[in-house]
Structure 1
Amino acid sequence: MPAFIARPVLMVLTALLLAAAPLGPALAEGFTPLRDKAAFVALIENKNLKRLGITLRVLPGGAITGKALGQKVRGAWQWRDGYFCRDLYWGNENLGANCQEVSVRGRTLRFQSDRGTGDYADLSLD
């Protein structure tokens, strides 16, 4: 894949499951951090997470499935110390492990990489 396509795709998927901003602006934008696994599961159960070109399912049992820009997405997740920790593959490319802070505003979930200090991706619940 050409670098000019691969880099934006990896940024979006790495932020997820898949624009940098610290937690302060997230709160200012009306996002509320989720720290409880049960609250997270209640939001994502039987829902798709969508963003332009990306549709994902984060299953309560720990699997991640979906498609992003024409490639299969698969992975696994667990809730650890108040963070969404995932291992993710996009096609055959291993995007690696990352623990992310999850915040919610209405029907939008924000996944912010590196325990809330890195890049983020906003996905809508559908």
Structure 2
Amino acid sequence: MNKNNYAIIMAGGIGSRFWPISRSSHPKQFIDILGTGKTLIQNTYERFLKVCPKENIYVVTNENYTKLVKQQLPDMADGQILTEPVMRNTAPCVAYGCFKIESLNPEAVIVVAPSDQQILDEDAFVSAIE
């Protein structure tokens, strides 16, 4: 596994399109919507474990969701959870995560993904990332 591979998981959205299942206090990325026993963010995290070391996976989220991230991804260190004080959409989220990672490893290769996608062919996903 390449130690320069990093992942940023975007997990700050409120999941309003999945209302009433998803609420701003507990949005869709933290819900087991598919009934698999794992939430969408847990599936995303596990998918990235196949392409980069666990210490190279970062989550960018709203500070209101920090506790949910820690509960659902207990292997993540506090420094891997990047919190935004205010939701500012995709571009600032990506910029924040990339700035943080680049400051740690200028040779980093970074993949950015939303926390709430379903990917059925994980082998193809891993192959595409590699």
Q: Structure 2 length normalisation: TM-score?
A: 0.33
Pick the structure with more strand per residue.
Answer: 1
Pick the structure with more helix per residue.
Answer: 2
Task: Considering Cα pairs closer than 8 Å and 6+ residues apart, tell me whether 1 or 2 has the greater RCO.
Answer: 2
